[in-house]
Chains A and B, each alone.
Chain A
Amino acid sequence: MSAQPPFAERDQPFWEGCRAGELTVACCPRCDAHWFPSQDRCPACGSSEVGWTGVDPEGVVYTFAVVRGPRSDGIGAPPAVEYPYVLAVVEVGGGARIAAPMVDVDADAVWIGMPVRARFTPGVAELPVFHPVEPQIA
């Protein structure tokens, strides 16, 4: 029930990748910059020939926040996960960063630099969740 169509036209390849179990990030064929989320032109060289490229579904936690309940600006309830959950910003291929909830790990056991891997729901155009590469002992 997270992000559902209509997605921005530009981002369709990303969501198609999610459906197929592949992690993609925005990239520039001209200068090889990688970034996420997408924007209209390359943030490094300004090229309009931006595209998407598949990257290793493994990355490392760049930073994270442990969301324990509604925040007072009340923009919206999180989909698909219950409190508390770990909102992680994960650095993947080429230095691009993607945001996703962490699963299969206690909220207090996440650390910056932790190796994590994306997991998709086959056939569904949803953001992946990330789980630790090394199974965590409860």
Chain B
Amino acid sequence: MSAVAAIVGVGTTGYRTDGAAGPDLAYDAIGLALADAGLGAADVDGVVKYSVDSSASVEMIAANLGLSDLGYWAEVPHGGGGSCATVQHAVAAIAGGFADVVVCFRAFTPSDFGEGAKHNSATLWARRSGVRDFMRGAGWTSMFDTFALACQRHMYDFGTTPEQLGAVVKACRRHAGTNPLALRPEPVTVEEYLEAPLVVGPLREADCAILPTFGACAVVLTSAERARDLRATPAYVLAAAASSGERTLPYWEMHPFRRGEITHFASRQVATRLFGSAGLSVDDVDVAQIYDCTSYTLLAQLEDYGFCAKGEGGPFAEHGALELGGRLPVNTHGGHLGEAYVHGFTHILEAVAQIRGESVNQVPGADVVLVTGGAPGPSSALLLGAGR
């Protein structure tokens, strides 16, 4: 099966720990992505965004960037889980003939969290339905608590160790060291990691995505045919997949309440759809950009995507396997633990950089790159390729 569409332009505002408003970030990132593609506002006829969200609406994007007669628009839910699903929407729009040039973007500011996420249906529902009464009242007041609870159970079930979480952190921080955009460019050894205090045990600050982050990213997609005529090396979408997962809960943060075991994510079902539709396997993946709102989120996905057996994510991550030159280089930009936290969109940009041969940590022969979206709730993923 040959690719229908390709990413032909990327843009980022860069990342800061204070400052700009979501809409301005969105306008800037989209403008940069169009310039990178050698396209203009008049070429765009599709816009896809995703929540949890304080950034610009589709109407605001159109009004402020001069877009007209959009033939396709969508807002994907699920926060970071929806990152790759924006590209899935763009591919569907192009394949369906609804649009020729589709912009996908994410503008991220701290007000996207907590009570500031007023426009997100899942957050609203969680508050109105009383679900949050059962969580907030128990002292469960952070998304990191959800991952700490799942990680603790993973350690119990499979013997996963703090040293193994530290190996994930070390890999991301090493890669961030050569990235001029990185907010945490200082390398860290596993020993230094272990000496740092716990924030929500078993997680330390270094295990958690960089907050606050202010920044935006955008990509431009068009058909594989048209992509050949544009200036940038196309990053072909070999596969795009999403899944709501099994035993879906009404609100993603509730994951540890799920009936049955909690040590895998919807990512496991995403993986089945992703590799199945591409006719590819994990052995074809040269480099992976794996969603890392926490180090544990990345570790568990190594299992979900089949890079190792269930429960072996910890041993897999040890001894430099996730670093440049290792068995599976991951997050070659530094990821959310080393570069910045823009709900997974930074990972899409880094996958394109690898395909173009322009990464700050280029993996030789990176022909197939995996990108994954957030967890544990509904999630999405991409396989990008240098060839169709």
**Chain A bound to chain B:** yes
The stretch from B194-202, B284-292, B319-327, B357-365 touching chain A is B194-202
Question: Which of the candidate stretches B132-140, B172-180, B266-274 sits at the interface with the other chain?
Answer: B132-140
- Choose among A10, A11, A81, A95 the residue that contacts B139 (Cβ–Cβ < 8 A): A81
A81 to B138, CA, bound (A): 9
- In the bound complex, how far is the Cα of B115 from the Cα of A77, in angstroms? 13
* Given A37-B130, A101-B139, 12 further pairs, Cβ under 8 A: A2-B138, A37-B134, A37-B135, A65-B201, A66-B200, A69-B199, A73-B142, A75-B113, A79-B136, A87-B149, A112-B153, A127-B134
B254 contacts partner chain A, Cβ-Cβ < 8 Å: yes
Query: Which residues of chain B have a CB within 8 Å of any CB of chain A?
Result: 110, 113-115, 128-131, 133-145, 148-150, 152-153, 156, 197-203, 205, 208, 211-212, 247, 249-250, 254, 256-257, 259, 262
Q: Are B205 and A72 in contact (CB under 8 A)?
A: yes
* Residue from the list A8, A39, A72, A75 in contact with B141, Cβ < 8 A: A75
Chain A interface mostly helix, strand, loop or mixed?
loop
Partner of B140, one of A35, A38, A99: A99
Chain A contact-residue range equals 35 or more
Residues of B within 8 A of A11 (CB): 130, 133
Q: How far is the CA of A100 from the CA of B259 in the complex (A)?
A: 17
Known A63-B156, A68-B197; judge A74-B134 contact (CB<8 A): no
Q: A11-B133, A63-B153, A99-B134 are in contact. Are A71 and B208 (CB under 8 A)?
A: yes
Instruction: Report the Cα distance A90→B147, complex, angstroms.
Output: 16
B residues less than 8 Å from A68 (CB atoms):
197-201
Is the C-beta of A23 less than 8 angstroms from some C-beta in chain B? no
CB distance from B163 to the nearest CB of A (A): 18
**Which residues of B have CB within 8 Å of A138?**
none
Question: What 5 A-B pairs come out closest when comparing CB atoms?
Answer: A8-B130, A78-B139, A3-B137, A2-B137, A66-B201
Contact A72 B259 (CB under 8 A): no
B143: which of A75, A97, A100 is its contact (CB, 8 Å)?
Answer: A75
Q: Which of B115, B135, B141, B202 contacts A71 (CB 8 A)?
A: B141
